[in-house]
Amino acid sequence: MNAEALATLHAHLLTALTSAPRETRRLFHGRGRCWPGLEQLTVDWLQGVVLVSLFKEPQAAQLEALKRLLLDLAGSAPWQQSGAHTLLIQHRYLPQSTAEWLLGTEIDEMSIVEGGLQYRVDLGRKQNAGLFLDMRYGRNWVREQAAGKRVLNLFAYTCGFSVAAIEGGASHVVNLDMSRAALSRGRDNHRLNGHDLSKVSFLGHDLFKSWGKVINSGPYDLVIIDPPSFQKGSFLLTKDYQRVLRRLPELLSPQGSVLACMNDPAFGADFLIDGVTREAPSLQFQQRLENPPEFPDIDPQSGLKALVFKRID
């Protein structure tokens, strides 16, 4: 994060704020490795809140230079015109992902908008705010496909896919996640959007110990799989994803579809395509969803992979 890199960041953010998004968006995605020296930095626009995330500890001088740049940005005309009012740095490399508030009043929780839908997020208290912005096109796709369908949302987290599915007219969504706190936030998200909660189920269980409950609630017309790449004691991508894939024929209705997702830069789309071919040969690969343009990546195989499969037997 040298002077040249910081100058690039400053210019990029000035341009982004000149036409600030009306909804929540990523403003700068350094993790795609398109800008040398900024690979460990992202900037998100949360409708007036500018969240800068650092994924690797910078040198003290570099951090001070970054803060000066951001405060200078906060005094610019584009910042004032954008309606921005709060600025914080989240130190994601620290165990508690500590937040440092540079401007504005500290905010614990707020509602953000994506695709006209509201989601409740946390600021400065947790590693992840509550909505993964790179999955925007995935949520859009689910919303477009969901009408009249029974949906299973595995590794549901705060139920963003579920919100999209119910908004799209799903008949019922079953959300499963080990974190009951995350599912509770999912309920909040549905309530924010005025959804009928009788159409939504929340299972706070370990998937690998709860196949009976999941299968008994099926079959499903659409299954969404969006696991963490690694979660200590519960999920290891290279071992556990195949365990999920091989159960898909038991879960899916005839002609049912699967949206299988993966965000580990070490594995390309072939990891999922080969896994489905091996573990669930009755499913056929249909398409890979595009990633939003605000998430450029020097290598398309390193970014988010969101793949659609369809049952053909």
CATH code: domain of residue 66: 3.30.750.80
* CB-CB neighbours of 310 under 10 Å: 15
Inform me whether the pLDDT recorded for 104 exceeds 70.
yes
Q: How far is CA 165 from CA 17, 81, 170, in A?
A: 31, 35, 5
Please identify, among 58, 91, 122, the residue that sits at the C-terminal boundary of a domain.
Answer: 122
Q: How confident is the model at residue 233 (pLDDT cuts 50, 70, 90)?
A: low
Domain that holds residue 168: 133-311
Inform me whether the pLDDT recorded for 224 exceeds 90.
yes
**Whether 231 and 290 share a structural domain:** yes
Please identify, among 122, 149, 175, the residue that sits at the C-terminal boundary of a domain.
Answer: 122
Please identify, among 122, 151, 186, the residue that sits at the C-terminal boundary of a domain.
Answer: 122
Inform me whether the pLDDT recorded for 230 exceeds 60.
no
One DSSP character per residue, 223-259 reads: EEE---SEETTTEEHHHHHHHHHTTHHHHEEEEEEEE
Tokens of 16: 């982004």
The whole-angstrom separation of Cα 248 and Cα 304 is: 22
Cβ–Cβ under 8 Å, residues 54 and 92: yes
pLDDT digits (tens, 9 = 90+) for 29-72: 999 999 999 999 999 999 999 999 999 999 999 999 999 999 99
- Examine residue 161 and state whether it is found in any structural domain, yes or no: yes
